[in-house]
Amino acid sequence: MSSKGIAIVKLAHNGDNRIVSGWEANDGDIPYQLSLRIVTIVGAVFTCGATIIHNEWGLTAAHCTVNRHNILIRAGGVSLSRPRLFFETTEYYNHPLYVGTMPFVQPHDISVIKFNRFVEYTPYIQPIRLQSSVDRNKNYDGVRLMASGWGRLWTDGPSPTILNWVYLRGVSNHFCWQSYGQSNIIVDSTICASGYNVITQSICQGDSGGPLVVEDVDGVLSQVGISSFLFGTGCNTESPAGFVRPGHYHDWITEVTGINLDWDPNARPSTTIAPEVPTTASPESEGESEGEDEGDETDIVKIKELAPVYYY
């Protein structure tokens, strides 16, 4: 199967955004979720998702932070207009193997953000446990996963201000590799997922850097993916979306932060506080979005015909 004509898209977008075919979250449902409003050195604005992994650190995708200047962080609420915590930072660390000068989808799309403060935990602000290094290559084929973010309702669609979440079904890396025309973007540190019970369920523009989580063996949520890329045909298709497995990067995260966030699911019961997956869902709202775009411009960087593209 040739990769000719296959496009892979990056999910960051210059505006407020939404998950595809998902549901609105309630306050406290997803307390580990962050919203990032990122400003470049030339003043362009992009939005991404992220997660809290420690009182002083967040986790997101490297393509969200590379060559950026200011990062405005919203935490502790599902509404972008009413966060419980709103602050700014300029300190982040992209994985050293992520090449910021190359504007196409690539592995190692992971970044840690240093908060400029100690973030106190509350019922609305909590960390998410990261996938263990033991499970870094685990096959999640057929497993129910959950993604969340302020990503668009469909490709280039409307943008709300309320955090959305959606169930996705994990697929094997081999299936994902075939779906993407045997692209070399699908590597061991990739995890892919598609619609759980509706083929249009997916992440979309603006969900980059947000979490993919699973209820782990001990009943606690673990983040098994960082939203990274989509098939070039758009968001609301049956093609799987791609995420980065944080379990592959514990050594690097420890090196940068000085904190060991790894754990062994076979060694001891977890004491990590993490929220439950929402068990109820409101019907998806229709009509016009409540959000306001930062601007109309969509930056699509195309490269060689056989190579992936990033899509903001």
289 is catalytic: no
Per-residue pLDDT for 39 more than 90?
A: no
Residue 242 exposure: Cα atoms within 13 Å on the Cβ side: 36
Backbone φ and ψ of 257, nearest 5°: -95, -20
Length of the chain: 312
Encoded tokens for 215: 């209820």
Residue 270: inside a domain, yes or no? no
Q: What is the mean pLDDT of residues 150-168?
A: 81
pLDDT of residue 238: 81
Residue 284: inside a domain, yes or no? no
The residue from 16, 29, 35, 63 that is catalytic is 63
Q: What is the mean pLDDT of residues 153-163?
A: 75
pLDDT of residue 157: 73
Residue 184: inside a domain, yes or no? yes
Residue 202: inside a domain, yes or no? yes
The residue from 189, 208, 227, 289 that is catalytic is 208
The residue from 109, 135, 207, 216 that is catalytic is 109
Task: Work out how many domains the chain is built from and give that number.
Answer: 1
Which residues span the domain enclosing 253? 8-261+298-311
Longest dimension (CA), the chain: 51
109 is catalytic: yes
Residue 273: inside a domain, yes or no? no
Encoded tokens for 80: 């972008």
Q: State in Å, rounded, how far the first CA of the chain is from the last one.
A: 27
With bands split at pLDDT 50, 70 and 90, how would you rate the model's confidence at 195? confident
What CATH number does the domain containing 23 carry? 2.40.10.120
Average pLDDT along the chain: 81
Residue 109: inside a domain, yes or no? yes
Please tell me the distance from the alpha carbon of residue 94 to that of residue 84, in angstroms, as a whole number: 27
**17 vs 155 pLDDT, higher one:** 155
Per-residue pLDDT for 306 more than 60?
A: no
For residue 255, how many other CB atoms are within 10 A of its CB? 11
**16 vs 137 pLDDT, higher one:** 137
Phi-psi region of 21 (alpha: psi -120 to 50; beta: other; left: phi over 0): left
**201 vs 73 pLDDT, higher one:** 73
Highest mean pLDDT among 177-186, 264-273, 280-289, 299-308: 177-186
Find out whether 23 and 284 touch, Cβ atoms under 8 Å.
yes
Residue 42: inside a domain, yes or no? yes
Q: What is the mean pLDDT of residues 63-89?
A: 93
208 is catalytic: yes
Please tell me the distance from the alpha carbon of residue 235 to that of residue 230, in angstroms, as a whole number: 7
Q: What is the mean pLDDT of residues 77-81?
A: 92
Encoded tokens for 141: 């084929």
Q: H or E element: which one contains 250?
A: helix 250-257
pTM of the shown model: 0.82
